[in-house]
Amino acid sequence: MAPLDPPHERAGALTAPSLESALPPGARLLLDTSALIAYLGNAEPTTPVVSRIVEDLVGTGRNAAVVSAVSAAELLVGPLRAAAAVAEARVLEFLRGYPNMEVVPVDLAAAQEAARLRAAHRFAMADALVVASGIVRGATVLVTADAAWPTLLALRRPSVSVCLLRSFVVRGG
Amino acid sequence: MRVRDRNQITLPARVAARLGAKVGDTLVVTVPDGTPPRAELRPVLRSYAGVAGDLYGATPEERMAYVAEERASWGDADAGAAADGTPYLTFEQSKRVYWQTEVTPERYAREPKLRWQKCDLPGCRRSIAKMREHRAAHASGLLDERGDRTDAAQVARTRSRVAKWRRSIRHTSERAR
């Protein structure tokens, strides 16, 4: 009799090796606001997944990561609104200095790519700028906690795949 | 500091102490543009997980709402409000909240429910126009965690309605046979 699959496989959840196969070595990752909020904010079910991506894949240099300046601004609004100086400093430190991660400014190339996405596919401008920042830096995988992205991106930008954090949560502990 | 083979250097103890750097820590070196060239050395934490705590919201739903609010600020964020003052979702917020539905501008304009917020409680998640009243009802115990009324009379009325509906379904299917 063939051995049973491990429980998490039978439950349809993906394991750490499958996360690594979804993010091949050398693939440049675009980390969006929702993914970084899952990392920097309070722990939630997707936090271990995004922590693994940031700390084990990006931090070690296996994968480079890019973050749009739009996302950086969005990440700073929360601490600034709450006047939480320590958290603001930590978030800034992370954005400035985290190894193998680059915050991409909205330059003319990104603006042109965003305009293309908006004109052809009616992306909202903020979404278009975030994705464009990744495309101009050669990102091939969008890492996100936002379940709307696979639908938004699948048909419109097949060159960029979507890594939805929730898909990699191992259910039932 | 003397640069040795393979560009190695040893961080002087007082510099390490000032940076708070310990064995195993990571330091990031950046060389900003400008003349003369100079290098900046910055310690980074091994992990930044959770450094912002609940500043983006206490629950995953609140965090998604945080992102939706920031995105909505790019466009016309005023989509109106329900009678109790609950703001309606903008088109962009609606696309995110109702991600399982293909929210188009036409559907958003036609279907009021696509402008309603979803309850934050994981067991409830109902789409509600007057969310402030709904949350108050949860808080006061008038609604249970699934969003069902807790008063016995209302529960009886709901059960009677459901039973009537089931009977009508059964009746219709029997007639069809």
Q: Which of B11, B75, B71, B65 lies closest to B42, judged by CA? A: B11
- Listed in sequence order, the residues at least 6 apart from A6 whose beta carbon sits closer than 8 Å to its beta carbon are A15
- Please give the structure tokens belonging to residue A19: 């996360």
Facing residue for B71 by CB, picked from A47, A97, A126: A126
How far is residue A123's CA from residue A133's CA, in Å, rounded to a whole number?
A: 14
ipTM computed for the complex:
0.79
User: Cβ of B41 under 8 Å from any chain A Cβ?
Assistant: no
**Secondary structure tally for chain B: helices H, strands E:** 6, 4
| Chain B residues close to A31, C-beta within 8 Å | none
Query: What are the percentages of helix, strand and coil residues in chain A, rounded to 5?
Result: 55, 10, 35
Q: Which of A98, A145, A89 lies closest to B51, judged by CA? A: A89
| Chain B residues close to A125, C-beta within 8 Å | 74-75
- pLDDT (tens digit, 0 to 9) for every residue of chain A, 173 residues total? 333 333 333 333 445 558 888 899 999 999 999 999 999 998 888 899 999 999 999 999 999 999 999 999 999 999 999 999 999 999 999 999 898 999 999 999 999 999 998 888 778 788 889 999 999 999 999 999 888 787 777 666 667 889 999 888 876 54
Facing residue for B54 by CB, picked from A42, A59, A145: A42
Q: Is 0.90 topped by the overall pTM?
A: no
Longest distance between any two alpha carbons in chain A, whole Å: 61
How far is residue A113's CA from residue A134's CA, in Å, rounded to a whole number?
A: 10
- Mutate which: A39, A42, A90, vs B, most B CBs within 10 A: A42
| Chain A residues close to B61, C-beta within 8 Å | none
Facing residue for A125 by CB, picked from B49, B56, B74: B74
